[in-house]
Structures are given as structure tokens and as C-alpha cells.
Amino acid sequence: MSNESVIVLQVEQGGDRLDRWIADQLPDLSRARIQKLIEQGQVTRNGQVCQSKKDTVQVGDRIHLTIPDATPLDLPAQKIPLDVLYEDDDVLILNKPAGLVVHPAPGHEDGTLVNAILAHCPNLQGVGGVQRPGIVHRLDKDTSGAIAIAKTDHAHHHLQAQFKAKTARRTYLAVVHGAPTADTGMVDQPIGRHPGDRKKMAVVSPPATGRSAITHWQVQQRMGNYSLLQFGLETGRTHQIRVHCAFIGYPIVGDPVYGSRRSVGVNLPGQALHAWKLRLQHPRSEEWIEAIAPLPDYFQTLIRVLEQRASQ
């Protein structure tokens, strides 16, 4: 039985190339993947198969993408140490270290979190699909912290629905360059592919080329020209916190893509961004679970060093 999915998009602002426009609407699909789908006849516009990636979209166009079944990956189970925050027969919540890729992809065929959890949970293979067994949300490679894994199909559907409805809540902590004048704030800026670098995301203008993205922030600690901020998300766009922080002028310390090259004198594996707290409803009992992921040692060291500098 086919598990192919169909995505329907409505063009609200025309004039852009077909492949570029689709990439802006669907950041999780690479432009190369979109071009391949066009070549394979999997993209239609107003009921007609699109012949060229260079076609120009027009206001009112309806674009249909058919995403075929993914070719199954032969995912080896690998005994990689896991920091378990919560586990029962339905749900596993882990404290992911920075540097660990969540699921296999070109360049990271193994040694990922998925390989580790397949060793930890041998019956997980196939839950939620062969490509990303058990995965219901993402964390960037160099972002540490709490991530939930579904251990059954029922749990997978239940948790995915919570993340989609935003009833599952994620709270992040980050150390940023700068000292906001206010103690709290909100960034409401659409995010899409960076117009000049397809590997990056950016706040895009006009908004029609991006997807709505809302980030709430609150100062937890001031350390001279650095600040520890807490974040809550209303949306879950790729690199959302990192992009929004850079946009408002407070890039995350250690961010190799969106941050400043300024050294802080502490060896960091990447951006100082940590998924600190995860709150979700248990898919079977419907009781609320709150898992807190302790800050990594390097993150605590960074705060301590910045505190000392600020006090001098």
C-alpha cells in the first residue's frame, strides 16, 4: 500500500520561479529534491503537469506536489550512550548532546540519534516510517537538550498531533551577544530560505515568501554584554530561534551560521542553545509529563566565565 503524500499550495504572490517558490514554502524539502520531483512529473499547476523548474508561478495558481514513498534505509542499530530523562512503554525522552545528528542523511549515514535509539528500543523499527523511526520533532545537530521519541504508532500519531497543535511546549535557553533593553519581547517575522544561500534560513520579505514564525523571549540573566535568554515558540520553523535572535541583533554565542565570529574564550561545540524543558501529554494516560534537561557542562562553564567577566 502506498504511503505517498500530496501537498497542496496556493500562490498568493506570483513572479517567482516554480522551484524557488516551492522551496520557500516548504523549507524541509531541498531545492534539489523539488527539482527532482518536477522532473519526475510529481508537480502539477492547476491540474497540468509542470514541465520546467523555471516556470513562473502566478497569483491564484494551485500547486500539487506528490511525494513518493521514501526508499527504505538499512538503519543499523548502534550502541551509542543515551541520557534518558523519561521512559515507559510509549514514550522515550532523551537529553541529546550537541554534535549528535538526529536522523541519517547524506553525509551522516550512521552514528545518529536514530541509530542509537534503535539499539535502545529494538522494536522501534517502522514506528512513524522507515526513515525517521519514532521521531516526532527535531533538534539541530549542535543544539542540545530534550527530545521526545514515540515507541508505538499510537504514541507517534498522538505526539505529532500535540506538536502540530502546539499543546506540547518546548522551552529553550540560549546565551546571546548583547544586552536587550527590555526584559521580555516577541519576534513575529516570517522565515524562509535565504535568498542568497539555500543552506541557510532567513527572515524573508515580503512575508508571502516565508512561513509565519513567532518566538517569545525573556531575559533570565544579564552578564555585561551577554545575556541568558529563555525562549518559547508558537511555531517550529527550521533554525527559528537562531534566525530570530540574529534578526533582532542578539545572535547566539557560538552559532557558526547566524552568529558572530567573536571568541568568548570558552570551547563550544556549536551554538549555545539548549532545549531545556519539554512538556507534553502522555499518549495513553493523558497525564502531563515535564522533562527537564540539565545544562551541558560547557554551557555552565560559559555562563560562569561571562559572570566573572561582568563582575570585574
Angstrom distance (rounded) from CA 268 to CA 270: 5
- Give yes or no: 83 in active site: no
What is the grid cell recorded at 10? 496556493
* Separation of alpha carbons 276 and 142, rounded Å: 14
Q: Residues with Cβ < 8 Å from 285, sequence gap 6 or more?
A: none
3-state secondary structure of 236: coil
d(Cα 218, Cα 259) in Å, to the nearest integer? 19
Three-state secondary structure of 107-172: CECCCCHHHHHHHHCHHHCCCCCCCCCCECCCCCCCCEEEEEEECCHHHHHHHHHHHHHCCCEEEE
Please state, as a whole number, how many other Cβ atoms lie within 10 Å of the Cβ of residue 21: 23
Residue 48: in which H helix or E strand, if any?
Answer: strand 48-49
Looking at residue 182, what DSSP letter applies? S
End-to-end CA gap in the chain:
67
From the CA atom positions of the chain, what is the Rg in Å?
A: 21
Q: Which cell goes with 73?
A: 534505509
Site of grid cell 510529481: 42
Catalytic residue among 16, 69, 110, 140: 140
Other C-beta atoms lying within 10 Å of the C-beta of residue 211: 17
Residues designated catalytic? 140
